[in-house]
Amino acid sequence: MGKTNVDDLTVEDANEEASGRGEVAAELANIKADLDSIETLINQIKANFNSTLTKLDSDADVGDTDYSSLNSVDTSDVSVDTK
């Protein structure tokens, strides 16, 4: 692609070039806004995920459960036949 000599441009050419640059700038601004929205969504997903993990960890905390009954066996109804 060759360079355009500024002296060869008309006012119409210059306006068209400026318009094209403006369109590109506007499109880039739209892309940036879309990327910002995506980043916000990703951050929300991360926060929800971390919150869920914290809740699961809290629900799965076995430290609050009393397992002392597992160490004893009720033998009151056991009989032994000694024939």
| pTM (predicted TM-score) | 0.50
Determine the distance from the C-alpha atom of residue 8 to the mean position of all C-alpha atoms in its chain, rounded to a whole number: 52
* pLDDT value at residue 28: 93
How far does CA 79 lie from the centroid of its chain?
Answer: 62
pLDDT at 1 over 80: no
More reliable by pLDDT, 53 or 38: 38
pLDDT of residue 56: 78
Query: Is 17 strand, coil or helix?
Result: helix
Q: What is the pLDDT of residue 15?
A: 80
Q: Where do the domains of the chain lie?
A: 10-45
Tokens of 56: 């699961």
What's the distance, CA 61 to chain centroid?
26
9-51 pLDDT tens trace: 787 887 888 888 888 999 999 999 999 999 999 999 999 998 8
How high is the pLDDT of residue 27?
Answer: 92
CA 55 – CA 65 distance, rounded (Å): 17
Dihedrals phi, psi of 30, to nearest 5 degrees: -65, -40
